[in-house]
Amino acid sequence: MKRDISQFIIFIGISFLISCGSLQERDSVRFKSNLDKSKQTDFNHIKKALYSQFNDWQGVPYQRGGLSQNGIDCSGFVHLTFKSKLGLHLPRTSWMQARSGNEIRKDDLRAGDLVFFKTGAASSHVGIYLEKNKFLHASQKKGVTISRLDNIYWKSSYWKSIRI
């Protein structure tokens, strides 16, 4: 019994040391869109929606597993943003989000595309591309913020981009 409790405590401790991308999601990937085709291709609409989300969430602190304005993690922020602002259901974790949609080249990014970063051996980070090399995300240090892809940290840890 004590061994089971010790293993459980160690498991919980390790899970908190790894970023949001390590959470597992067992549900299959599902997409549900409330957008008509004209809005899906209207990137000005998407940019406005994303900047509106930024205005509503700017500075909300990072919290692993969080899903509220008291604290949110990167994949939770992407999940909620797509649901509330774009009418799309994305998986909750960054690893599952990375398997959604189609991979695209970094040079082909458009507003609303997902950008992924390898932040550790077993962890990843996700944000939403805005425009002009900028992306929206929940940063562990700054909370919800806008960063640049050409920042030395993000440039060196860039993994891939996905278009939903």
CB count within 10 Å of CB 93 equals: 23
Query: What size, in residues, is the chain?
Result: 164
If DSSP codes are grouped into helix, strand and coil, which group holds residue 148? strand
Between CA 46 and CA 88 the distance in angstroms is 12
For the chain, the 3-state helix, strand and coil shares in percent, each to the nearest 5, are 40, 25, 35
Between CA 116 and CA 102 the distance in angstroms is 13
Q: Which residues form the catalytic set?
A: 74, 125, 137
Residue whose pair of structure tokens reads 């974790």 in the numeric block: 93
The CA-CA-CA angle for residues 117, 83, 53, to 5°, reads 75
Joined tokens for residue 156: 């060196």
